[in-house]
Amino acid sequence: MKRNSRKKARANVIRVRTWTHAQAQSAQPYLASVVRSVREHFLEAIRGHNRVQQLSKDHGRPNRESIIALAEAQREFDEARQRFEDAENELNELDVYVLDPVQGLALIPFEQDERLAWFVFELFDDEPLNSWRFQEDSLETRRPIKAA
């Protein structure tokens, strides 16, 4: 019985590729480009969602033009959402994870003192890779990279 529980525990383990600081530094231009795309597509999807919601509100019986406008808005929203998911998946394939698409924040895994830690990539900072945090830290925690 214990064997099965060990197998189940191992099945729940997610392997994350860890980065070195040098690897993260050299990937900065690429990461900035993809994080920027994630942000733009996310904002586009929000605008599309809001447009669909606005057109969906009941204004009496819909006419042909309102039906076409709603269908077009829904199509544009679906395409924007798909572009967002594609860009996010591009980062996830590298084991880089979006923390906040609007603020352009992403997390890059690395190992510090035999513990999982994350470089915090900040798109709009002059130095996008200037801080890190341990996995168990609060999301707001930032340690200077120099201490890593």
Q: Give tens-digit pLDDT for 71-114.
A: 999 999 999 999 999 999 999 999 999 999 999 999 999 999 99
pLDDT tens-digit series, residues 109-133: 999 999 999 999 999 999 999 999 9
Strand blocks (E) in 5-142: 97-100, 105-112, 115-122, 129-134
pLDDT of residue 63: 87
Is 9's pLDDT higher than 60?
Answer: no
Host H or E run for residue 103: none
Q: Where do we find the tokens 């829904």?
A: 74
pLDDT given at position 2: 58
pLDDT mean across residues, the chain: 90
| Per-residue model confidence (pLDDT) at position 11 | 63
| pLDDT grade for 40, boundaries at 50, 70 and 90 | very high
How many other CB atoms are found less than 10 A from the CB of residue 62? 14
d(CA 71, CA 51): 11
pTM of the complete model: 0.83
